[in-house]
Structure 1
Amino acid sequence: MHGPVPADDSVPADGVLTVAIIPARGRSKGVPRKNLRRVGGTALVERAVRAAAAASAVDLVVVTTDDDEIAEVSSVAGAQVIRRPAALARDTASSESAVLHVLDELEAGGVTVGTVVFVQATSPFIPSAGIDDAVGQIRDDRFDSVFSAYETYGFLWRRDSGDNAEAINHDAAHRPRRQDREPHYLETGAFYAFAAEGFRAAQHRFFGRVGIAVVPERTAIEIDDEQQLAVASAVASIVDEPAPIPAKAVVTDFDGVHTDDTAFVDSNGHEFVRVSREDGMGVSRLRRAGIPMLILSTETNAVVGARGRKLQVPVLQAIDDKAAALAEWAAGEGIALGDIAYLGNDVNDLGAMGIVGWPVAVADAHPLVRAQARVVLTRDGGDGAVRELIERVLPPDGVR
Structure 2
Amino acid sequence: MRCVAVIPARGGSKGLPRKNLRPLGGLPLVARTIAAAKAARRVDAVYVSTDDAEIAAAARAAGAGIIERPAEISGDAASSEAALLHALDVLEGGGSGAVGTLVFLQCTSPFTGADEIDACVAALGSEGVVCSFTAAPDHGFLWTTGAAGEAVGVNHDHTAPRKRRQDLPPQFRETGAVYAMDAAAFRAAGSRFCGKAAIVPTGGPPIEIDDAADLALATAILRSRTESADDVPRGVKALVMDFDGVFTDDRVLVDETGREAVFASRSDGMGLTRLQKLTDIRLLILSKEPNPVVSARGRKLKIEVRQGIDDKLPELDRWLAEHRLARADAAYIGNDVNDLACMEAVGFPVAPADARPEALAIARYVTAKPGGQGALRELCEKLIEAAARDR
Instruction: Give the TM-score taking structure 2 as reference length.
Output: 0.62
Q: CA deviation at 1:358?
A: 5.1
| Cα deviation code 1:186-220 (max 9, x no counterpart) | 0110011111111111111112112111111x331
User: Letter of the aligned partner of 2:245 in structure 1?
Assistant: A
Partner in structure 1 of residue 56 of structure 2: 71
Q: Structure 1 residues 84 and 390, CA, compared in 2 at 3 Å: closer, same or farther?
A: farther
**Alignment match, 2:115:** 129
Residue of structure 1 equivalent to 2:217: 231
Q: Which residue of 1 aligns with 2:133?
A: 147
Q: Which amino acid aligns with 1:132?
A: D
Partner deviation per Cα, 1:236-287 (whole Å, 9 max, x = no partner)? 1445888989725656xxxxx999xxxxxxxxxxxxxxx996476579x999
SS in 2 for 1:198: helix
- The change in CA–CA distance for 1:92 and 1:181 in structure 2 (over 3 A counts) is closer
Alignment root-mean-square deviation, CA: 3.8
Give the match for residue 190 of structure 1. 177
Q: CA deviation at 1:52?
A: 1.1
Label 1:391 to 1:128 Cα distance change in 2 as closer, same or farther (>3 A): farther
- Determine if the alignment matches structure 1 residue 45 to structure 2 residue 30: yes
8 Å contact from structure 1 (residues 155, 169) kept in 2: yes
Shift of the 115–286 alpha-carbon distance from structure 1 to 2, 3 Å rule, reads closer
Number of corresponding residues: 278
Task: Please give the alpha-carbon distance, in whole angstroms, between the structure 2 residues aligned to 1:385 and 1:67.
Answer: 34
Counterpart CA distance in 1 for 2:99 and 2:198 is: 20
Where does residue 349 of structure 1 map in the other structure? none
Distance in 2, Cα, partners of 1:20 & 1:34 = 20
Shift of 1:49: 0.6
Q: Which residue is equivalent to 1:33?
A: 18
- Aligned amino acid, residue 103 of structure 2: V
User: Does the aligned pair in 2 maintain the 1:281–1:387 contact within 8 Å?
Assistant: no
Return the offset for 1:43: 0.8
Point out where structure 2 has 5 or more consecutive residues left out of the alignment: 233-239, 250-264, 277-282, 288-292, 295-300, 302-334, 337-352, 357-364, 383-391
Q: Deviations over 1:113-154 (max 9, x none)?
A: 011011011100112212111111114354111111011111
Task: Please list, as runs of the form range in 1=range in 2, the aligned pairs for 1:1-400 lying within 5 A after superposition.
Answer: 16-110=1-95, 111-172=97-158, 173-216=160-203, 218-238=204-224, 247=245, 250=248, 278=271, 281=274, 290=293, 357=354, 375=366, 377=368, 387-389=377-379
Question: What's the CA shift for 1:182?
Answer: 2.1
C-alpha offsets along residues 11-32 of structure 1, whole Å, 9 cap, x if unaligned? xxxxx10111100111111111
Q: Would the alpha carbon gap of residues 207 and 119 (structure 1) be closer, same or farther in structure 2, given more than 3 Å must change?
A: same
Alpha-carbon distance change, 47 to 204 in structure 1, aligned in 2, over 3 angstroms: same
Q: Tell me how far apart the structure 1 counterparts of residues 27 and 241 of structure 2 sit (CA, whole Å).
A: 15
User: Does structure 1 retain, via aligned residues, the 8 Å contact 2:155–2:168?
Assistant: no
Q: Check conservation: 1:258, 1:279, Cα contact below 8 A.
A: no
Deviation at 1:376, TM superposition (A): 5.0
Alignment TM-score, normalising by the size of structure 1? 0.61
Give the C-alpha shift of residue 59 in structure 1: 0.8
Give me the whole-angstrom Cα distance separating, in 2, the residues matched to 1:156 and 1:258: 56
How high is the sequence identity, in percent, across the aligned residues? 44
Change (3 A) 1:139 1:389: same
